[in-house]
Amino acid sequence: MPGFEFFGAEERKQVHDVLETGVLMRYGFDGMRNNHWKAKEFEKAFAERIGSDYCQLVSSGTAALTVALASAGIGAGDEVIMPTFTFVASFESILALGAVPILVDIDDTLTLDPQAVEAAITPKTKCVMPVHMCGSMADLRALNSICKKHNLILLEDACQALGGTYEGKPLGSYGDLGCFSFDYVKTITCGEGGAVITNNEKYALHADHYQDHGHDHIGKDRGAETHPFLGYNFRISELNAAVGIAQLNKLDDILKTQKENYTILRETIETIEGVTFRRVPEGGEENYSFLNFFLPTAELTQKAHKALAKAGVDACFYWFTNNWHYINGWEHLRNLKSLGKLSAEVRSQMQDLNNTDFSKSDAIMGRTISSLIKIGWTPKQVKERAEAMKSAILSTL
């Protein structure tokens, strides 16, 4: 996920437009801003690129998830189903609203297992949050029909899958709401930033108000605006939004290079007997930001991961023991370690995560290795990496 590899003159020019006027805020100061509205411009361009009616920029991907949930009316005691393999932002955003994260198994797509989702539904369930990890998607057709059947909101976390598609639609645009991150290691970056997309006019209006203290954004005098409901401050700054405009223009080139590099690595290691790949649901196309593969056993996978590091192959991840992305590493969540007291609903409704059976997820994550795909590699470097990966893996099988 290489936005950070690609910072150049275009980004500097965009930021300069903002620095020249000094209007660093996205609202107001109309006379001073020389007609630069970077956040608005990025929102318009991003909505067009993703094919959604509305886009709301915010300060991070975590903020985007929080704003999306709040906009759909999720609050105290509402249950949100999320996967065991994701980023900590999933449960952080849910808990921030007093809602309850319900963790369920993943399958060989490395995303939510639809059967596990259906089994976890209770009368308190309000939302299903698939997370399109490492460039590829959940089985959105199956999840959508579960959501329709039980009248639940489908919220896609597409933070790691910008540019991937499912049934011809850009990821993030299939569900009721979609979220993106533009942090420094995502496919495109603003430094820090995020976006909520939706075709639902009401959710879009809620998101617009909620991320700016509940401001109604009517008229030209911020001080005179009213607050139809409570909000918070999740605004993006004009400087960050400006970077995003330049990055978005590079997205198609980034995706093209990712696919080329991914394909070389994949074609080299798929010749190894015992190596299989993460399942991409039918009708889906990855964004090729990672190459995700399985080895036959957890033991062999750990050996291969060590052999890759020893061979100098960088950026290969073994998520099973990683602190950020898998439930094994979330000791603070499993034991509900918070600074202050959590709400009564959270304390009474949370699963006992230390004693919940996630053996199905373990069986998959224990055998998964993901190689980051960089766009800065030269063709020679990609070929060398492919061969180094192949011999490191072969040496352990």
Ligand X SMILES: *Cc1c(COP(=O)(O)O)cnc(C)c1O
Q: Which residues are catalytic?
A: 186
Backbone dihedral angles phi then psi of residue 122, each to the nearest 5 degrees: -130, 175
Task: Find the residue with minimal CB distance to ligand X.
Answer: 61
Q: Which residues of 105-137 are buried (b: 16+ CB within 10 A; e: fewer)?
A: bbbbbbbbbbebbbebbeeebbbbbbbbbbbbb
Taking the least distance from each CB to ligand X, the nearer of 135 and 281 is 135
Taking the least distance from each CB to ligand X, the nearer of 56 and 86 is 86
Rounded Cα distance, 165 and 111, in Å: 15
For residue 135 the two structure tokens come to 């460039």
Taking the least distance from each CB to ligand X, the nearer of 63 and 120 is 63
Taking the least distance from each CB to ligand X, the nearer of 74 and 269 is 74
Identify the burial level of 62 via C-beta atoms within 10 angstroms of its C-beta, where 0-12 means exposed, 13-18 middle and 19 or more buried. buried
> Which residues does residue 395 pair with via DSSP β-bridges, in sequence order?
none
Taking the least distance from each CB to ligand X, the nearer of 87 and 318 is 87
- The least CB distance from residue 154 to ligand X, in Å, is 16
- The least CB distance from residue 192 to ligand X, in Å, is 6
Rounded Cα distance, 135 and 371, in Å: 11
Would you say 160 and 110 are in contact if contact means Cβ atoms under 8 Å apart?
A: no
Torsion, Cα 184 190 191 193, to 10 degrees, reads -90
Identify the burial level of 168 via C-beta atoms within 10 angstroms of its C-beta, where 0-12 means exposed, 13-18 middle and 19 or more buried. exposed
- The C-alpha angle with vertex 291 and arms to 42 and 112, in degrees rounded to 5, equals 75
- The least CB distance from residue 397 to ligand X, in Å, is 31
Residue 102 CB partners (closer than 8 Å, separation 6+): 79, 80, 81, 82, 120, 125, 351
- The least CB distance from residue 33 to ligand X, in Å, is 26
- The least CB distance from residue 57 to ligand X, in Å, is 12
Strands 177-181, 153-157: pairing is parallel
| Contact positions vs ligand X (CB under 6 A) | 60-62, 86-87, 89, 131, 157, 159-160, 181, 183, 194
- The least CB distance from residue 25 to ligand X, in Å, is 20
- The least CB distance from residue 87 to ligand X, in Å, is 4
Taking the least distance from each CB to ligand X, the nearer of 176 and 183 is 183
Taking the least distance from each CB to ligand X, the nearer of 125 and 289 is 289
